[in-house]
């Protein structure tokens, strides 16, 4: 080996004897610059294909004919939006400046009632897909009452509000138990699913930096995973790689996910269920490479977490999807969906405090004192946490099981009905509360528009073109 290396060096020197020095310097400098550029490109947050697409679209929009067409379409969209929105607030005055004198209590109350009744869609009675999750008037009344009692509390000051601290701890403990967390399971109450997902991504970014020295980490998510993961990647300066799904079931392709794992991978993601088609990813199949390569596995159960936790008891058994699966290290679940808490309530859970420690932010050098928070926000609405706790206590396990049974039965009946409609086909596997359907015979968006004209607002999807109905109570 040494003699071969020596021979190669000698041959190179012989070759360079007749090359002018400036050419050697130029070639060396040029090669160094190319290597530096390639290294920088490999560290970029966005994949090469995405960067190329963005570049092409950016310059394509500068072509006059393309620009004019895009501007015209945007103008139509704005006009349609303004017309549709304007109908809801027609003849309603706007307050553009703070009133010189305060309004009376009764006047403000009446205006608030007026604003709450604007709009044509009957969202209160379920005509708008996935909008209203409230299970009963009793739940609504209790939420309002308890929120009022805790409206001025703030978890940022646990010394001032020890009762709220206890309430939040109970919420976390109860939900950890629902997802079969062990003694080490823990978590945080957040303001919604997006924050829960961002916090999980932040946790694993910092974990990989601290334990593996990974600066530009990559998260692997199914293409059907919630766009909150893309938002998290953008905010946190990490790279997101989208894993293809099975064309029929819409479950993540496990072989593709395993092939995409690299030394920079910091997190594997599965949905339980995913939003577009209601399909449950194979969490066990995702956790297997997670265990093999010692990678954290996050289960996004924001949409249906408070259904799947009770489906076994309701008579609709599922494959394990939570902390029962070895390798699952975190779960996100929204209490403001099928948990029936007021909007602005979610949880991110961890299998142990080892992971949660990386979620926290602490800045010890601030002149105002040591600043530390468990979540993205500093101050949080204590009323939301208290209302969530109250609803969970009111409903209990039996209440959630009953609601789950009703919703899953309804979803199954809708699925069967859709399958019997000529020209419609089910997309994915509607295992929980979402039924997605498409058509090879006609424009499915036309059907969606027709339903909206009749007071029903479904969710329009793409890739493939379809619509879905999210069953609520």
> From the first residue on, what is the mean pLDDT of each consecutive set of 10 residues in the chain (473 residues)?
66 72 78 72 64 74 78 77 66 84 92 82 72 83 95 92 96 98 96 98 98 96 98 96 97 98 98 97 98 98 97 97 97 97 96 97 93 93 96 96 96 96 96 96 93 87 94 88
* Cα 202 from Cα 348, distance rounded (Å): 12
* Cα 101 from Cα 368, distance rounded (Å): 36
| pLDDT score, position 39 | 61
Q: Specify the number of domains making up the chain.
A: 1
Dihedral in degrees, nearest 10, Cα atoms 62, 67, 70, 71: 120
* Cα 296 from Cα 331, distance rounded (Å): 11
Query: Does residue 465 lie within any of the structural domains?
Result: no
CA 416 to chain centre: 29
Among candidates 442, 446, 438, which has minimal Cα distance to 464? Answer: 438
Cβ contacts of 71 within 8 Å, gap of 6 or more? none
Cβ contacts of 188 within 8 Å, gap of 6 or more? 172, 199, 347, 348, 356, 359, 374, 375
* Owning domain of residue 190: 145-394
SS3 assignment, position 469 = strand
Query: Does residue 328 lie within any of the structural domains?
Result: yes
* Cα 244 from Cα 221, distance rounded (Å): 9
Query: Does residue 456 lie within any of the structural domains?
Result: no
Query: Does residue 339 lie within any of the structural domains?
Result: yes
CATH number, domain containing residue 314: 3.40.640.10
| pLDDT score, position 30 | 81
| pLDDT score, position 86 | 62
| pLDDT score, position 274 | 97
Element (H, E) at 145: helix 137-149
Q: Which two tokens stand for residue 175?
A: 């939900």
Query: Does residue 403 lie within any of the structural domains?
Result: no
Is the Cα torsion angle 352, 358, 360, 364 positive or negative in sign? positive
* Cα 250 from Cα 269, distance rounded (Å): 15
* Residue-by-residue DSSP string for 439-461: -SSS-HHHHHHHHHHTT-BPEEE
Among candidates 318, 316, 279, 314, which has minimal Cα distance to 300? Answer: 279
DSSP state of 263: T
| pLDDT score, position 94 | 83
Query: Does residue 238 lie within any of the structural domains?
Result: yes
CA 122 to chain centre: 26
Among candidates 382, 358, 353, 321, which has minimal Cα distance to 157? Answer: 382
């Amino acid at each position: 080996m040494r003699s071969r290396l020596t021979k190669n060096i000698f041959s190179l020197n012989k070759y360079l004897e007749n090359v002018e020095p400036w050419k050697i310097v130029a070639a060396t400098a040029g090669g160094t610059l190319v290597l530096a550029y390639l290294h920088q490109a490999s560290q970029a947050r966005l994949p090469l294909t995405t960067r190329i697409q963005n570049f092409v679209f950016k310059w394509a929009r500068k072509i006059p004919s393309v620009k004019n067409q895009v501007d015209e379409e945007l103008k139509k969209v704005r006009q349609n939006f303004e017309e549709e929105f304007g109908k809801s607030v027609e003849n309603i005055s706007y307050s553009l400046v703070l009133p010189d004198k305060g309004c009376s209590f009764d006047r403000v109350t009446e205006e608030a009632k007026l604003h709450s009744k604007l709009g044509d869609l009957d969202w209160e009675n379920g005509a708008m897909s996935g909008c209203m999750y409230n299970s009963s008037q009793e739940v609504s009344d209790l939420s309002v009452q308890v929120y009022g009692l805790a409206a001025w509390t703030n978890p940022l000051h646990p010394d001032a509000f020890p009762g709220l601290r206890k309430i939040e701890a109970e919420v976390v403990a109860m939900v950890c138990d629902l997802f079969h967390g062990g003694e080490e399971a823990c978590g945080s109450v957040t303001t919604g699913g997006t924050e829960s997902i961002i916090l999980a991504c932040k946790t694993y970014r910092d974990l990989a930096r601290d334990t593996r020295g990974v600066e530009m980490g990559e998260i692997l998510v199914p293409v059907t995973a919630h766009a909150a993961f893309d938002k998290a990647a953008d905010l946190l300066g990490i790279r997101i790689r989208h894993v293809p799904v099975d064309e029929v079931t819409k479950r993540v392709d496990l072989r593709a996910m395993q092939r995409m794992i690299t030394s920079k991978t910091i997190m594997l993601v599965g949905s339980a269920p995913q939003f577009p088609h209601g399909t449950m990813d194979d969490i066990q199949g995702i956790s297997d490479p997670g265990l093999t390569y010692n990678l954290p596995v996050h289960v996004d159960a924001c949409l249906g977490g408070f259904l799947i936790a009770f489906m076994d008891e309701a008579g609709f058994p599922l494959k394990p999807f939570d902390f029962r699966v070895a390798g699952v290290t975190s779960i996100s679940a929204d209490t403001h969906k099928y948990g029936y808490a007021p909007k602005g309530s979610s949880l991110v859970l961890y299998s142990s405090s080892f992971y949660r420690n990386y979620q926290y932010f602490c800045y010890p050098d601030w002149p105002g004192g040591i600043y530390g928070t468990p979540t993205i926000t500093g101050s949080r609405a204590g009323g939301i946490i208290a209302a969530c706790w109250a609803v969970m206590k009111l409903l209990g396990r039996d209440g959630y099981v009953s609601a789950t049974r009703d919703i899953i039965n309804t979803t199954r009946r809708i699925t069967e009905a859709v399958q019997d409609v000529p020209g419609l086909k089910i997309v994915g596997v509607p295992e929980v509360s979402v039924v997605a359907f498409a058509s090879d015979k006609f424009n499915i968006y036309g059907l969606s528009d027709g339903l909206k004209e009749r007071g029903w607002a479904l969710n329009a999807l793409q890739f493939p073109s379809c619509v879905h109905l999210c069953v609520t109570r």
